[in-house]
Every structure is written in C-alpha cells, then in structure tokens.
Structure 1
Amino acid sequence: MIVRVEDEAQDWLRDVLGVDQPGMTRLSKLVTLLLEENERQNLVARGTLPHIWVRHIVDSAQLLHVSRETLAEGEWLDLGTGAGFPGLVVAALQPHRPVTLVDSRRLRTDWLQRAAEALELPNVRVVLSRVEDLPSGPHAVISARAFAPLDKLLELSARFSTPDTVWLLPKGARAAQELQMLPESWNHMFHVEQSLTDADAGIIVGRLRAGAVSKPSAAKGKRT
C-alpha cells in the first residue's frame, strides 16, 4: 500500500499504526507549528506543504512500522534532523522514549526546542552539533533521513551503535544502490523496505553485527 493523499495518511496513522487521539492531537499541532515557522525559515520545501501529512508525518511515522519488530526501549538518535523528521514525529508518537535530535544549524535547533516545548515533549533533547563532534555512546535506534550516503553515515555514526541497535534510514530511490555499494568491511544485517509514501523510495533497515569496522580510506576508494 502506498499512502498518497492526506486523508489516507491520517487514516493510516489511526488504523494501521494505532495512533490514539492524544497522539493525533500532537501531530496536528506539529503540522500547525511547521506551517507557521515555514513562513519564517525554509524548514521544508514549499511544494510539499499541501501534502504535509504524507510527505513528512507518515513518511516519518512509518519507521515505527517498517522495522517489522518491536523496537527496544531506549534512546532514539536522529541525525541531521532538520525540521524534526523523523525524530520529532517519533517523539510525539512515543512520548515515553528519549529522543535526541541533532542538527548543526542553530535556526533549526532553536525551532526544534520551541516545538518540543509547545508539544509538551520532555522526552526530546535537542543538540546543536555536527555529528563528528558528538560524544560517543550507545543508542537503541538510529535514524537519519537523507543525511549522508550510507558509507559516509556509518563512518560518522557507527560509534553510536551496538549489535542491538536498530538503524532506520530513509534513502529515497537510491536505497538499494547505496546498500549494494556498501564496502564489505561493514559486517551488517541491513535490507531495504519499501517506503509507504513513495513507490520509488526505500528505507534501509537493520543492524551492524559485532565486529563491524569503519575503514574510511577503503570506503572512499570503492565509491563510484
């Protein structure tokens, strides 16, 4: 099933993902906040605003569905979060889970902090930083929406992962290609799931096995 229109998006959230009324209320408020702030700074492309529930809300929320498993309790790390997708949506849907939103642009992080406060989400931690400068530490889930090519993303962020960490990486039409190009030095259990919001897009899902190693020079040498 591909969710294509706004009514389908909200129906999918309620009927498939099982979002309750407080969750839908938080998401509706997030949409309002985003539309207002997008008049002041370009959080998302204006052309996506008429389809905001499909292109941003469900596109983010589907990560709680496509993993096909119960995501372990623990901190969710969203790298290069931008306007808060997918991390802020996840936090609104799972207010019991600590969610860390990382972005290197102060205007974005200032807005994310205001939005988290307006949505009454004390589970959200907003960090103004480059990924390279973050302190290492394990997380239960790592997400990154179109943040960097897969090999580069792993080089930057494998230090936040354990063999139990689930990676959820929306990658658009290049998902399968990026996974195929991943150097063999990465000992992984990744696969591609079909996006629910774009028939041409995929989501890389899986884990890094114990002993997965970063070999930046080898990775760069194998790029085409």
Structure 2
Amino acid sequence: MTVITEADAKLWLCDTLGADDSVMRRLTRLVELLLEENERQNLVAKGTLPHVWVRHIIDSAQLLHVSRETLADGAWLDLGTGAGFPGLVIAATQPERAVTLVDSRRLRTEWLQRATDALGLANVSVVLSRVEDLPSNSHAVISARAFAPLDKLVTLSARFSTPDTVWLLPKGAGAQHELDMLSESWRHLFHVEQSLTDPAAGIIVGRLLGGAPQTRSSSRKGKRS
C-alpha cells in the first residue's frame, strides 16, 4: 500500500498505526507549528507543505510499522533530526518512549526544543552536537533520515548500537545501492523495505552485529602488539 493523499495519511495513522485522539492532536499541532516556523526559517521545502502529512508525518511514522523487527521499548536515538523528522513524530506518537533528537545546527535545535515544549513532550531530549562528539551510550532504536551515506553513518554511530539495536534509515531511491556499498567488514542483518510514501524510495532496516573497517595503520598496530 502506498499512502498518497493527506486524507489517506490520517486514516493510516488511525487505522494501521492505532493513533488515538491524543496522538492525532499532537501531530496536528506539530504540523501547525511547522507551518508557522517555516515562514521564519526554511525547515522543509515549501513545495512539500501542501502534502505535509504524507511527506513528513507518515514518512516518519511509518518507521514504527515497516520493520520486520520487533522494536523494543527502550530509548530511541534520532541523528540529524533537523526539522523534527522522524524523531519528533516518533516522540509525539509514542510519548512513553525516551527519544533523543540530535542536530549540529543551533537554529534547528532551538526549533526542536520550542516544538517539544509546545507539544508537552516530557520524553524528549534535544541535543546540540555533532555525532562525533556525542558520548557513547547504547539505544534500542537508531534512526537517521538523509543524514549521511550508510557506510559513514554506521562508522560514526556503531558505538550507540548493540546487536539488539534496530536501525531504521530512510534512504530514498538509493537505499539498495548504499546497502550494497557497505563495507564487508561490518557484520549486519540489514535489508531494504519499500517506503509507504514513495514506491521508488527505500528504508534500510535491521541490526548491526559487529565488526568495523580497519585502516592500514590500525592493522599495523595490531600486528606489532
């Protein structure tokens, strides 16, 4: 099934995802806040605003549905959150789950904090930081929407993951190519799921079991030790 219209999007949230009235109120308020803020700073492309429920809300919320993996109830880490997608939508949909929103741009994190406060989301932590500077801490779920190529993303973020962590990575039309290009040094159970909002787009889903690319210098050090 492909969600095409704004009406389809709201029906999908209620009928498939099981969103109740309180969730729909939060998401509706999030859309209102986004439209207001987009007049002040370019959070999302203006051409997507007439289809905001499909392009941004469902495109984010589908991460709770597309995975064949069971999503544990633990903490969710969203890297490069930007305008709040997918992390802020996840937090609004699952207010009982701890969600950390990370972005390196001050204007974005200021917006995320204002939106979090307006929505009354006590489960959200907004962090202004580069991924490289974050303290290591494992999470149940890791998401990143158009943040970095897969190989770079995994290299930067593997320290936040355990073999039980589920990765949910919307990647557009290049999802399978990025997965094919992932270094063989990584042991993983990643696969590509089709996006509900775009038949041509894919979402990389799965678990990282271990391993890491080794540079020549690190290999030489290992031989000397």
Kindly indicate whether the alpha-carbon contact (under 8 Å) linking 2:78 and 2:100 is maintained by their aligned counterparts in 1.
yes
Unaligned runs of 5+ in 1: 219-224
Count of aligned residue pairs for this structure pair: 217
Task: Note if contact 2:102-2:127 (Cα within 8 Å) is conserved in structure 1.
Answer: yes
- In structure 2, the partner of 1:215 is 214
Change (3 A) 1:217 1:172: farther
Verify the 8 A CA contact 2:91 2:99 in the aligned structure 1: yes
The runs of 5 or more residues in structure 2 that have no matched partner are 218-225
- After superposition, the Cα gap between the structure-2 partners of 1:27 and 1:46, relative to the gap in structure 1 and judged at 3 Å, is same
Between stretches 96-105 and 69-78, larger displacement belongs to 69-78
Q: CA deviation digits over 1:98-134, x for unaligned, max 9?
A: 0000000101100100100100001000000000110
**AA paired with 1:82?**
G
8 Å Cα contact 1:57/1:89 also seen in 2: yes
TM-score normalized by the length of structure 1? 0.95
Q: Are the counterparts in 2 of residues 61 and 86 from structure 1 also a CA contact under 8 Å?
A: yes
Structure 1: 4+ residue segments shifted above 6 A: none
Aligned to 1:114: 114
Check whether the contact 1:74–1:140 (CA below 8 A) recurs between aligned residues: yes
Q: CA deviation at 1:215?
A: 3.4
Residue 46 (structure 1) aligned with residue 46 (structure 2): yes
Structure 2 match to 1:64: 64
Matches within 5 A, 1:83-102: 83-102=83-102
SS at match of 2:185: coil
CA RMSD of aligned residues (A): 1.2
Shift of the 194–216 alpha-carbon distance from structure 1 to 2, 3 Å rule, reads: farther
Look up the equivalent residue of 1:16 and give its one-letter code.
Answer: T
CA 1:217–1:86 in 2, change beyond 3 Å: closer, same or farther? farther
Q: Any conservation in 2 of the 1:76–1:141 contact (CA below 8 Å)?
A: yes
- Structure 2 Cα separation of the partners of residues 85 and 57 of structure 1: 8
Q: Aligned partners of 2:141, 2:122: CA distance in 1, in Å? A: 18
Residues 73 and 140 of structure 1 are in contact (CA less than 8 Å); yes or no, is this contact kept in structure 2? Answer: yes
How far apart, CA to CA, are the structure 2 residues paired with 1:176 and 1:147?
16
CA contact (8 A) 1:154 1:214 kept: no
Percent identity reads 76
The residue number in structure 2 matching 1:222 is: none
Contact 1:155 1:216 in 2 (8 A): no
